[in-house]
Amino acid sequence: MAHAATHDHHDEHHGAPSNFFTRWFMSTNHKDIGTLYLIFSLTMFFIGGSFAMVIRAELFKPGMQLVQPYFFNEMTTMHALVMIFGAIMPAFVGLGNWMIPLMVGAPDMALPRMNNLSFWILPFAFALMLSTLFMPGGGPAGGWTMYPPLSLQSDSLPYVVFAIHLMGISSIMGAINIIATILNMRAPGMDLLKMPVFVWSWLITAFLLIAVMPVLAGAVTMLLTDKFFGTSFFNAAGGGDPVLYQHVFWFFGHPEVYIMILPAFGIISEVIPTFSRKPIFGYKAMVFAIASIAFLSFIVWAHHMFAVGLPLGAEIFFMYATMLIAVPTGVKVFNWVSTMWGGSLTFETPMLFAIAFVILFTIGGFSGLMLALVPADFQYHDTYFVVAHFHYVLVTGAAFAIISGTYYWLPKWCGHMYSEFWGKMHFWNSVVWVNVLFFPQHFLGLAGMPRRIPDYNVAFANFNMISSIGGFLFGASQLIFLGVIIHAVFFSKKKASDRVWEGARGLEWTVPSPAPHHTFALPPVIHDEELAHGHVDD
């Protein structure tokens, strides 16, 4: 703590630039860029959410009431692209930007100018992609997976491909920056195996990003040349193979799934020990589990393609490999529960979201295990069962972890406590309505409702109506989140202490709240007992 005080004194001479444009547009400060990422992500969360509202409104009852089928397909496609590339991924990069330097005792990211560039590419990429909705031919409507030949029928393909190239460049630069920061900028004494699990999870995620974003770029570039330059990568009539695209896409796509969940594991692994007032159970097992999941993510891609007519041997291999993922994932869940066991628990909003994460993500994991069983997947594949599965892992998984992390670190960012009452209102509304929204979709899928359809048989009417009601209320609940953040940043009178939470451990809690514009200009002296995992020897 003595050191943090020294830094304060130093920091007073280097505040944030007072000019709005200079501060936010030309920033090289990891905290400001982190804030920009988070604001961008929240904006995209609401834009993508509004697309979901259109989808749920059309599916409220049988018959077509609101939109044409093609526009419905544009909505499903855009909802996925915006949520994946615009909301979830930038939110994690934002949290990483803000917290990684603070957690490892670095003064900033390793490559601050590139950091600025990797953020400012994103608004242009998304402006380009969203603009297709206003074009005469409409936006992309072939699903976010963009399977050819269908995706080649869309005139907006080049816009989307270029936008994806930009997002990929942004992600790769962000990943390089995070790896460089973690490997080079740690304060003396911050050994790799003393780093917070969140930092570990981001280090591994960053390698995944660098490995697979170029694969996605390659796949969509081949779509582009097939459409405009006469190649036949995926065109059967020219000797190509439409299934090749799916192999290449999912070689990106499956690691991408873990890119969206590993940092979430990291956040939860910080929040649960803090509010259990007990060190995380099995620190090394946690890190090793993340690494094994990351490795396995490269050899399971074809489980998204069990119905394309793979050879028997391939189906068996990909089934076994996929089922193996349950082991490290199970270890993580058991370790979180064991962290809570014997602790001294309090239930502030971040902890509530973290507990909901563990339970609901596990339910998503269960349906994932069921989906791995190929004969059963012949029934589940491309139904609402799959929709329920990936929303449990992405909404109550990734998004809940992001929300948990936001409540957890918000007092550190803005220096004021958020309203605990409204935080809990947000939590209880979210957790109830998200289940009303997604749980019935399991039943719809099992009963035989395919995904990505704008209208359905009367047999599916009841659960769709329940799901839509849950959807509207879950969507509305997120406005509470917006309100809580605005209140905490601009209006809250309650000062946050430096440590903020009684059980919080780690370097980020040794700097003042709000964190000054520059921190750790001099490397902090590390006391192992100050760290969350300072003297863990298991």
Query: What token pair was written down for 523?
Result: 């490397």
Shortest distance, position 455 Cβ to another protein, whole Å: 5
Amino acid at 301: W
The answer to whether 61 is a known catalytic residue is: no
Which residues share a beta bridge with 495? 416
Greatest extent of the chain over all pairs of C-alpha atoms, in Å: 72
Shortest distance, position 31 Cβ to another protein, whole Å: 31
Task: Please identify which of the residues 56, 79, 442, 533 carries the catalytic annotation.
Answer: 79
Length of the chain: 538
**The tokens 């969507």 sit on which residue?**
475
Residue with smaller CB distance to another protein, 320 or 421: 320
Cα distances (Å, whole numbers) of residue 411 to 486, 495, 509: 12, 8, 11
The answer to whether 391 is a known catalytic residue is: no
Residue 98 CA to residue 312 CA, distance in Å, equals 47
Shortest distance, position 224 Cβ to another protein, whole Å: 18
Residue with smaller CB distance to another protein, 166 or 434: 434
Task: Please identify which of the residues 58, 226, 256, 508 carries the catalytic annotation.
Answer: 256
Short-list 533, 449, 325, 520, CA closest to 59? 449
Shortest distance, position 157 Cβ to another protein, whole Å: 14
Residue with smaller CB distance to another protein, 90 or 506: 506
Task: Please identify which of the residues 27, 41, 156, 170 carries the catalytic annotation.
Answer: 170
Contact 293, 361 (CB under 8 A): no
Short-list 152, 91, 58, CA closest to 455? 58
Residue 257 CA to residue 155 CA, distance in Å, equals 28
Contact 481, 433 (CB under 8 A): no
Amino acid at 88: I
The answer to whether 329 is a known catalytic residue is: yes
**The tokens 């239930």 sit on which residue?**
347
Residue with smaller CB distance to another protein, 375 or 493: 375
Residue with smaller CB distance to another protein, 322 or 492: 322
Residue with smaller CB distance to another protein, 268 or 414: 268
Shortest distance, position 61 Cβ to another protein, whole Å: 8
Task: Please identify which of the residues 35, 41, 132, 171 carries the catalytic annotation.
Answer: 171
Query: What token pair was written down for 2?
Result: 């003595």
Task: Please identify which of the residues 27, 35, 269, 274 carries the catalytic annotation.
Answer: 269
- Show contacts of 280-284: CB within 8 Å, 24+ apart: 280/197, 280/335, 280/339, 280/532, 280/533, 280/536, 281/335, 281/336, 281/338, 281/339, 281/341, 282/331, 282/335, 282/338, 282/538, 283/193, 283/197, 283/533, 283/536, 283/538, 284/193, 284/536, 284/538
Residue 249 CA to residue 256 CA, distance in Å, equals 10
Following DSSP, what letter does each residue of 34-63 receive, concatenated? HHHHHHHHHHHHHHHHHHHHHHHHHTTSSS
Contact 76, 489 (CB under 8 A): no
Short-list 537, 528, 384, CA closest to 466? 384
Query: What token pair was written down for 22?
Result: 């200079």
The answer to whether 303 is a known catalytic residue is: yes
Task: Please identify which of the residues 202, 258, 301, 408 carries the catalytic annotation.
Answer: 258
Task: Please identify which of the residues 304, 389, 442, 518 carries the catalytic annotation.
Answer: 304
The answer to whether 416 is a known catalytic residue is: no
Query: What token pair was written down for 532?
Result: 């969350």
Shortest distance, position 426 Cβ to another protein, whole Å: 20
Which residues share a beta bridge with 416? 495
Residue with smaller CB distance to another protein, 241 or 530: 241
Residue with smaller CB distance to another protein, 359 or 521: 359
Task: Please identify which of the residues 186, 227, 332, 518 carries the catalytic annotation.
Answer: 332
Helical (H) or strand (E) element with 278? none
Helical (H) or strand (E) element with 451? none
Residue with smaller CB distance to another protein, 336 or 409: 336
Contact 170, 119 (CB under 8 A): yes
Shortest distance, position 196 Cβ to another protein, whole Å: 14
The answer to whether 451 is a known catalytic residue is: yes
Shortest distance, position 377 Cβ to another protein, whole Å: 8
Shortest distance, position 416 Cβ to another protein, whole Å: 24
The answer to whether 533 is a known catalytic residue is: no
Is residue 117 packed enough to be buried (19+ CB in 10 Å), middle (13-18) or exposed (0-12)?
Answer: middle
Query: What token pair was written down for 58?
Result: 């059309």
Residue with smaller CB distance to another protein, 25 or 341: 341
The answer to whether 510 is a known catalytic residue is: no
Shortest distance, position 203 Cβ to another protein, whole Å: 21
Annotated catalytic residues are 79, 108, 144, 170-171, 254, 256, 258, 269, 303-304, 329, 332, 451
